[in-house]
Amino acid sequence: MHFSAIGRVPGDPILGLIDAYNQDSNPNKFDLGVGVYKDANGLTPILQSVKQAEQRLVDQQQTKTYIGGHGDSRFGQLISELVLGTDSPLLAAKRAGATQTPGGTGALRLVADFIAHCLPERGIWLSDPTWPIHESIFAEAGLKVGHYPYVGRDNTLNVAAMLHALENVPQGDVVLLHACCHNPTGFDLSQDDWLQVLDVVRRRELLPLIDFAYQGFGDGLEEDAWSTRLFVSELPEVLITSSCSKNFGLYRERVGALIVCANDAEKLTDVRSQLAYLARNLWSNPPDHGAAVVATILGDAQLKAQWTAEVEAMRSRIAQLRSGLVEALTPFGLAERFAHINQQRGMFSYTGLSTEQVQVLREKHSVYMVGSGRANMAGVDVTRLELLAKAIAQVCQH
């Protein structure tokens, strides 16, 4: 038999939770697993701005012909402006360009192939911990994957250890940095920390790859772009992977971009020719619909204003849930132990709960979170904060 030697691999550590949660019949279950935004009713609704843009597309779209290897050029321009700023000198100098990809994950896959193909022998360095799919995407593309310390066993951000490790990364290697809302920990670098990282990256001649999947979920759409804009203004070459899954709520439509910043327009054209070649071999043309929705929104002042307000509403709701959970934990004497939840940013919190505690939470209390102790704060139900706090308190006492 051809398949007889093929074994089984474990299910995805994040997506596997969707099935487990759906199969749980406990009406009081909590879904703090996969990173999707949920509203006060526990739903992941389609944004109003998206609905309106979709209606326009249904009414006005004339064709379903191919959109080309780099995708929709209007989307490319508008997403680059969202990430780099509307007045970005790089865009004016044609030093930056976007390739539309199936989600931020597609952008990561494309950049992994780009490094393997065009910059052979370069290793890639990931934060420890990082999003588990970073590990497998780069390893599967054949890159040598290394790690720099980020959040230690004591569940605190260790910038000194990170900087020390980066000093020892071989010259020319790629360093993946999370622009904001670090996944899985929620611990972000301060502006001062970013300046220090920039200094090492510049001195060691490292190539930064900035993963920007949560723009708008940390401190705001513009605020969250600060680190990315700093790097592109100070360095000649930067790679950026951007996702529209969370901030446009377009998860299943698969919308993202790989933005390349090169030293000059000529070199950008060379790099983009390679990306078109690699993308052709991966998915040929990217899917159109979600990117067309994003372009419709960002290209229309009224829709953009509506969308901006919707992102801000999601962002502030998550921030409120953070403080709400810490408050709910206070009567159990756990306010100090979980004070970090208020310092973290974005969807995720590294709670500091152990794998065993996560297991007990799941089995005894139907609270679903990733085995690493990562909780999706957007999945916390504001009407059941006490119940969640009680469950957490019970596992902490054992």
Q: Residue 33 or residue 97: which is nearer to ligand LMR going by CB?
A: 33
- AA identity, residue 360: V
Task: Tell me which residues in 4-63 interact with ligand LMR (CB under 6 A).
Answer: 14, 34-35
183 binds ligand LMR (CB under 6 A): yes
> In the complex, what is the shortest distance from the CB of residue 370 to ligand LMR, in angstroms, rounded to a whole number?
8
Q: Of residues 211, 224, 288, 381, which has the active-site annotation?
A: 211
Q: Of residues 31, 72, 131, 288, which has the active-site annotation?
A: 131
215 binds ligand LMR (CB under 6 A): no
Q: 197 and 162 in contact (C-beta within 8 Å)? A: yes
Q: Residue 271 or residue 350: which is nearer to ligand LMR going by CB?
A: 350
Q: Residue 296 or residue 344: which is nearer to ligand LMR going by CB?
A: 344
DSSP secondary structure letters along 163-220: HHHHHTSPTT-EEEEESSS-TTT-----HHHHHHHHHHHHHTT-EEEEEE--TTSSS-
> In the complex, what is the shortest distance from the CB of residue 105 to ligand LMR, in angstroms, rounded to a whole number?
6
Q: 247 and 214 in contact (C-beta within 8 Å)? A: yes
The C-alpha torsion from 160 through 35 and 294 to 51, rounded to 10°, is -150
Residue among 335, 374, 337 at smallest CA distance from 354: 374
Give the total of residues touching ligand LMR (CB under 6 A). 5
185 binds ligand LMR (CB under 6 A): no
Angle formed by the axes of helices 301-329 and 385-396, to 10°?
50
Residue 128's SS3 state is strand
> In the complex, what is the shortest distance from the CB of residue 302 to ligand LMR, in angstroms, rounded to a whole number?
30
Q: Is 246 a catalytic residue?
A: yes
Task: Tell me which residues in 106-135 interact with ligand LMR (CB under 6 A).
Answer: 131
Q: Is 131 a catalytic residue?
A: yes
Q: Is 390 a catalytic residue?
A: no
Q: Residue 52 or residue 130: which is nearer to ligand LMR going by CB?
A: 130
Say how far apart CA 41 and CA 99 lie, in whole Å.
36
What is the SS3 assignment for 77-97? HHHHHHHHCCCCHHHHCCCEE
Closest residue to ligand LMR, based on beta-carbon distance: 35
Say how far apart CA 335 and CA 326 lie, in whole Å.
6
Angle at 374 between CA 369 and CA 375, to 5 degrees: 60
> In the complex, what is the shortest distance from the CB of residue 92 to ligand LMR, in angstroms, rounded to a whole number?
33
> In the complex, what is the shortest distance from the CB of residue 107 to ligand LMR, in angstroms, rounded to a whole number?
13
> In the complex, what is the shortest distance from the CB of residue 376 to ligand LMR, in angstroms, rounded to a whole number?
7
Q: Of residues 194, 246, 288, 307, which has the active-site annotation?
A: 246
Residues marked as catalytic? 131, 211, 246
Q: Which residues bind ligand LMR (CB under 6 A)?
A: 14, 34-35, 131, 183
